[in-house]
Amino acid sequence: MNASLIRHPRQGDGIRLRMYLVVIAASLCALWIASYRQEAAKASSAGSADAKRTLSKDERMKWWRDARFGMFIHWGLYAVPAGEWKGKQVPGIGEWIMERAHIPVSEYEQLAKQFNPVKFDADQWVRIAKNAGMKYIVITSKHHDGFCLWDSKVTSYDIVDATPFKRDVLGELSRACKKEGIRLCFYHSIMDWHHPDAQAPFYPNYNDTKQSNPNFSRYVENYMKPQLKELVANYGPLGVLWFDGEWIGDWTEPQGKDLYNYVRGLQPNIIINNRVGKGRKGMEGLSKGDQEYAGDFGTPEQQIPAKGLPGVDWESCMTMNDTWGYKSSDQHWKSGEDLLRKLADIASKGGNFLLNVGPTSEGLIPGASVERLAAMGDWMEVNGESIYGTTASPLGEVPWGRCTAKPGKLYLHVFDWPANGKLEVPGLKDHVRKAYLLADKKRAKLPVTRSGDTLVVTVPEKAPDRINTVIVLEIKS
């Protein structure tokens, strides 16, 4: 019998077995792919449902609370005069020059013809923020002067229609932020010195908080709200709408509540600051219900509340020099050391730090700002864990620096290094499992002893970081 015909029972079985195995493997593979696709479809629909699902406040605030550090950008026509008008230095913050120099609307508008920021590069701005360790950017879509940094269909007083630059800056920033995973947020001024139904008629005192414009509600309904709709629809989803200029007499708490609801209707999970209403008077005093409409977080400005704002989310916004909008004469820069320690101080009190840059009329972030932000980024690269997603210190004041916390961990931010090599941590009752330098990849243990209620950590003779060295205490919380 032709051997070839003899199909060895074992051999035949072997081939059949292999075929069965191949068929089973192929079926399993097909099953896995089908289930993966189903899971992915479920996840993505859940994701988009999440985007559509109205989140709880804690869910909404999570990315913001984790972020802790953002970039404020004040940019507009005021960068052209840069603090000087008709040959004279104008005192005060640069973005207020229209008010401080009492410039008529018709004259101030002419600045648009000179605004041609040819060196503007959205990717560069976003990289500067990201490399500094910042997680979100809040830029002035429209400041008090009424000039719009996007291509608005509601006015021609905007960067596309009124300037030789003709580019939609907010659109370019939106794309750059998406590319780098940075949340884009807009500052938007309720007070508008250019609009005839708002404060323009109050010239020469645009900031008159007593006068009332009989057409103000027309400005709100036919101008401000449609512009906000443009901003959310065309550049969103946004992280935060950061309102300002709420102190004018024509703006009331009921309008604030209405605006809060309007914006929440445009993007249910957007975060809204407390200046949407008259919230700057302090949210902690408001009832739970009123607090809801008072916005999602408090906005202490150019200051760090001594004890933070217990019970509410808050963000301290600050300039790097003394002006928000660019002023060529303002070279009064805070040091990188001061800025870094402010970041730790704010986080140790449970707040966010919104640090401002005021780009020039050419579209460049000033070099002094870039240098400081790069230095902050170097520190954040090593120590970001002690800032991002942390909560306020459970310890009282500590003499040598600040403290931030996460479940099971305390981060000791040591500004003043102990000369005797013994860092004393008062009032810490928790059992400390381990102490180590955050910068030490090997997490070599630092000796820990107790003296009564005071924990004593033996530290290296020299401070690894002279500005802020972080020591981690792993505790049995």
How far apart are CB 421 and ligand FHN at their closest, in Å?
Answer: 43
Listed ranges 90-98, 175-183, 219-227, 387-395: which one lies at the site for ligand FHN (CB under 6 A): 90-98
Pick 136 or 411: Cβ nearer ligand FHN = 136
* Contacting residue, 67, 73, 93, 459, with ligand FHN by CB under 6 A: 93
Using the minimum distance from each CB to ligand FHN, give the nearer residue, 301 or 424.
301
- For ligand FHN, give the closer residue by CB, 140 or 152: 140
Nearest-approach distance from CB 93 to ligand FHN, in angstroms: 6
Q: Footprint of ligand FHN on residues 235-274 (CB under 6 A)?
A: 244
Whole-angstrom distance, CA of residue 102 vs CA of residue 238: 34
Q: Is residue 283 involved in binding ligand FHN (CB under 6 A)?
A: no
Q: Which one of 24-32, 93-101, 308-316, 381-389 is the stretch in contact with ligand FHN (CB under 6 A)?
A: 93-101
Select 93 or 344, whichever has its Cβ closest to ligand FHN: 93
Using CB under 6 A, pick the residue from 75, 193, 324, 415 that binds ligand FHN.
324
| Residue 349 beta carbon to ligand FHN: minimum distance, rounded to whole angstroms | 19
Q: Does 330 bind ligand FHN (CB under 6 A)?
A: no
Distance in Å, CB of 73 to ligand FHN, minimum:
11
Interaction of residue 145 with ligand FHN, rule CB under 6 A: no
Q: What is the 3-state secondary structure (H, E, C) of the chain?
A: CCHHHCCCHHHHHHHHHHHHHHHHHHHHHHHHHHHHHHHHHHHHHHHHHHHHCCCCHHHHHHHHHHHCEEEEECCCHHHCCCCEECCEECCCCHHHHHHHCCCCHHHHCCHHHHCCCCCCCHHHHHHHHHHCCCCEEEEEEECCCCCECCCCCCCCCECCCCCCCCCCHHHHHHHHHHHHCCEEEEEEECCCCCCCCCCHHHCCCCCCCCCCCCCHHHHHHHHHHHHHHHHHHHHCCCCEEEEECCCCCCCCHHHHHHHHHHHHHHCCCCEEEHHHCCHHHCCCCCCHHHHHHCCCEECCECCCCECECCCCCEEEEECCCCCCCCCCCCCCCCCHHHHHHHHHHHHHCCCEEEEEECCCCCCCCCHHHHHHHHHHHHHHHHHHHHCCCCECCCCCCECCEEEEEECCEEEEEECCCCCCCEEEECCCCCCEEEEEECCCCCCCCCCEEEECCEEEEECCCCCCCCCCEEEEEEECC
Query: According to the binding rule CB under 6 A, does residue 95 interact with ligand FHN?
Result: yes
Q: Residues 194-233: x/- map of binding to ligand FHN (CB under 6 A)?
A: ----------------------------------------
Pick the piece of the chain touching ligand FHN (CB under 6 A) from 10-18, 25-33, 92-100, 405-413. 92-100
Least Cβ distance, residue 136 to ligand FHN (angstroms): 15
Taking the C-alpha atoms of residue 122 and residue 230, their distance in angstroms, rounded to an integer, is: 20
**Looking at beta carbons only, is 95 or 296 nearer to ligand FHN?**
95
- Shortest spacing between CB 206 and ligand FHN, in angstroms: 11
From the list 17-25, 91-99, 250-258, 289-297, the region that binds ligand FHN by CB under 6 A is: 91-99
Binding stretches for ligand FHN (CB under 6 A): 93, 95-96, 244, 301, 317, 324
